[in-house]
């Protein structure tokens, strides 16, 4: 029921953000044509602002997530697929909260540990939104 209420609000919010970005970009084209040195700082500000707005809200659930609700094997398969899909040279990975919904961040870390991943100490820990992982150092190396 919550999704039925919040989904239209979320769509309207994204449409309003899109309209605002278009309007600001039209004005920005004229301003930055004259003051070209302000273009890069303005684009950086826009990027930081839009990064704060979640594309997929925490309450959103896909049909497959609803069907497999309460099934820890579903979350395990999703986490393993993401982590096994990382390139070997990739030293870090991000797990979004929707991937470990139902088992929690601790459960996700327990699944990631045998695959050679551990919690990254380089970033702030935000288990409600995402887990930042890094490859665990090889045993015996060092």
Treating both helix axes as pointing N-terminal to C-terminal, what angle do 39-51 and 2-34 enclose, rounded to 10 degrees? 170
Strands 92-96 and 117-119, sheet pairing? unpaired
- Residues 37 and 78: their CA atoms lie apart, in Å, by 45
pLDDT greater than 60 at residue 97: yes
Instruction: Report phi then psi at 118, rounded to 5.
Output: -145, 165
pLDDT of 140 over the 70 cut: no
Helix pair angle (104-112, 72-84), 10° resolution:
50
| Whole-number Å distance between alpha carbons of 93 and 118 | 10
Q: Which of 5-19, 66-80, 117-131 has the lowest mean pLDDT?
A: 117-131
pLDDT tens digit sequence for 113-137? 998 888 888 777 778 888 888 888 7
Q: Are 131 and 94 in contact (CB under 8 A)?
A: yes
Share of the chain above pLDDT 70, in %: 91
pLDDT score at 1: 57
pLDDT for res 59: 73
Q: What is the pTM of this model?
A: 0.57
Asked if 103 and 74 touch (Cβ cutoff 8 Å), the reply is no
The pLDDT of 100-125, averaged and rounded, is 85
């Amino acid at each position: 029921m919550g999704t039925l209420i919040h989904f239209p609000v979320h769509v309207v919010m994204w449409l309003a953000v899109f309209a605002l970005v278009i309007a600001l970009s039209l004005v920005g084209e004229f301003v930055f044509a004259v003051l070209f040195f302000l273009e890069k700082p303005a684009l950086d500000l826009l990027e930081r602002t839009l990064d704060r707005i979640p594309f997929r809200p925490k309450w959103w659930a896909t049909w497959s997530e609803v069907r497999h609700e309460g099934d820890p094997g579903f979350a395990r398969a999703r986490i393993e697929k993401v982590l096994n899909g990382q390139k070997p040279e990739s030293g870090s990975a991000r797990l979004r909260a929707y991937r470990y919904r139902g088992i929690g961040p601790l459960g996700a870390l327990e699944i990631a540990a045998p695959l050679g991943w551990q919690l990254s100490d380089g970033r702030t820990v935000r288990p409600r939104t995402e887990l930042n992982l890094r490859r665990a150092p090889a045993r015996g190396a060092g």
